[in-house]
Amino acid sequence: MKLGAGAVAPLVAALAWTAVILVTREPGQDHTTLLLGIGLMLSATVAMVGMIVVQARWAHRLGWLVLLATGVVAVRTETSPWWYTALAISALSAIALVLSASQVRRLPAATGPPERAVLVTLLLLGVPFMVGISVEAPVWAALSIGLSAPAVALLYSRVIIGGLLLVRLGWPLLTLVASVFVPSPAWMVPVSLAIAVAILAHDPLVKTAFHPVRETGSTFPIPPELTPKDILDAARLDDRGRPR
Task: Report the distance separating Cα 97 and Cα 8, nearest Å.
Answer: 9
Amino acid 209: pLDDT = 84
pLDDT in tens, 185-228: 889 999 999 999 999 999 998 988 887 645 555 566 667 666 77
Query: Can you give the length of the chain in residues?
Result: 244
**Distance from C-alpha of 244 to C-alpha of 238, rounded to nearest angstrom:** 6
User: How much is the average pLDDT of 132-152?
Assistant: 92
Q: Which residues pair with 237 in a beta bridge?
A: 243
Taking the C-alpha atoms of residue 34 and residue 16, their distance in angstroms, rounded to an integer, is 15
Separation between Cα atoms, residue 91 and residue 160, nearest integer Å:
39
How confident is the model over 15-43, as a mean pLDDT? 91
Confidence band of 1 (pLDDT split at 50, 70, 90)? very low
* Average per-residue pLDDT for the chain: 87
Distance, CA of 202 to CA of 164 (rounded, Å)? 9
How many CB atoms are located within 10 Å of the residue 208 CB? Answer: 14
pLDDT at 152: 96
What angle (nearest 5°) sits at the alpha carbon of residue 17, between those of residues 89 and 94? 35
What's the pTM? 0.81
